[in-house]
């Protein structure tokens, strides 16, 4: 068993103690809320040059680039107009409400039994379809299944690892999802909610074993145009190592303070 802790229950308070996710070692991807986002088409498909840096983003702008803040230059991009997420003024965020997705400039490749952590922060606009946080193919993805009670991973193969709860995730409220592997052991932690507030909750209260190699190329899809995310995306982060319980809590606290 991995020493990640269950974090069950709700309402626990924790102090971040970090100035940004980059303070935690091994950060190789950070797509940050309201930062480094660019659009070259407006809601009608007309050419524009809008960005969060210039402060001129407009509701419905079609996002072509989300710049990686980790220093690794692994930016998320989308060249196909129909697949581009849209800008939402109300939350200064990207909406994947129509099943949009983005490609990472370089694939993330993890070897067998390597330690890693993937973090995804956003909302669900509905629960009637499978929605992926990260993915590459039908054998490499991390998603929420239809009904929002099962969080599923496939790591380098056809065998699925399911993490199952009796109570479904809520729609239109903010969550942070964290997938961590130590050796061959996987755990999913969920932080957030509204009527049912979770604090670093170990989803399903289980660990699963899958030590296969893992490849990620997509943000918001299991593979191109498949199992697209439905909702707002605020942060997407990857660490080439396993965050400890204390580090997870620091990260969750920072995200709660910084959207």
pLDDT score of 125: 96
Q: Which residues of the chain have pLDDT under 50?
A: 1-14
Q: Rounded to whole angstroms, how far apart are CA atoms 257 and 213? A: 34
**How many CB atoms neighbour CB 147 within 10 A?**
12
**Quick one: pLDDT at residue 15?**
54
| CB distance 82 to 54 below 8 Å | no
68 and 74 in contact (C-beta within 8 Å)?
yes
Q: What pLDDT is attached to residue 16?
A: 66
**Cα-flanking dihedrals φ and ψ of residue 37, to 5°?**
-105, 135
The structure's pTM equals: 0.93
Give the angle subtended at the CA of 81 by the CAs of 141 and 155, to the nearest 5°. 5
Name residue 160's beta-bridge partners.
Answer: 154
- Cα separation of 131 and 54, whole Å? 32
Instruction: Give the model's pLDDT for residue 1.
Output: 29
Q: Would you list the domain boundaries of the chain?
A: 21-34+66-72+102-258
Confidence at residue 259, expressed as pLDDT on a 0 to 100 scale: 87
**82, two tokens:** 């129909």
Give the DSSP per-residue string, 54-92: TT---TTPEEEEE-BSSSS---EE---GGG--EEETTTT
Six-digit token string for 50: 């809008």
Q: What is the pLDDT of residues 31-65, one digit of tens each?
A: 999 999 999 999 999 999 999 999 999 999 999 99
Q: What is the pLDDT of residue 47?
A: 98
Is residue 146 within a helix (H) or strand (E), and if so which, with residue range? none
Identify the CATH class of 21-34+66-72+102-258: mainly beta
pLDDT, position 97:
85
Angle made by CA atoms 115, 120, 125, in degrees to the nearest 5: 150
Half-sphere exposure of 74 (CA within 13 A, CB side): 20
Cα–Cα distance between 130 and 119 in angstroms, integer?
18
| Cα–Cα distance for residue pair 60/187, rounded to 1 Å | 36
């Amino acid at each position: 068993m991995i020493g990640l802790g269950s974090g069950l229950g709700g309402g626990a308070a924790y102090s971040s103690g970090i100035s940004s996710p980059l303070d935690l070692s091994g950060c190789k991807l950070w797509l940050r809320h309201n930062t480094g986002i660019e659009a070259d088409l407006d809601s009608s498909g007309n050419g524009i040059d809008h960005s969060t840096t210039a402060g001129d983003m407009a509701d419905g702008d079609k996002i072509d680039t989300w710049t990686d803040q980790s220093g690794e230059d692994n930016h998320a991009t989308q060249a196909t107009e129909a697949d581009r997420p849209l800008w939402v003024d109300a939350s200064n965020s990207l909406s994947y409400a129509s099943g949009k997705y983005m490609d990472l400039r370089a694939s993330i490749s993890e070897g067998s039994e390597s330690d890693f952590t993937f973090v995804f922060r956003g909302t669900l606009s509905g629960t009637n379809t499978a929605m992926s946080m990260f993915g590459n193919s039908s054998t490499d993805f991390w998603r929420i299944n239809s009904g929002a009670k099962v969080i599923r991973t496939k790591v380098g193969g056809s065998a699925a690892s399911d993490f199952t709860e009796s109570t479904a995730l809520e729609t239109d409220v903010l969550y942070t999802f964290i997938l961590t592997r130590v050796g061959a052991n996987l755990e999913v932690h969920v932080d957030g909610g509204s009527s049912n507030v979770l604090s670093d909750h170990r989803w399903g209260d289980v660990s699963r074993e899958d030590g296969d190699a893992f490849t990620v190329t997509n943000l918001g899809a299991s593979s191109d145009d498949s199992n697209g995310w439905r909702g707002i995306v605020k942060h997407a982060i990857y660490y080439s190592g396993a965050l400890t319980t204390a580090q997870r809590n620091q990260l969750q606290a920072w995200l709660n303070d910084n959207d």
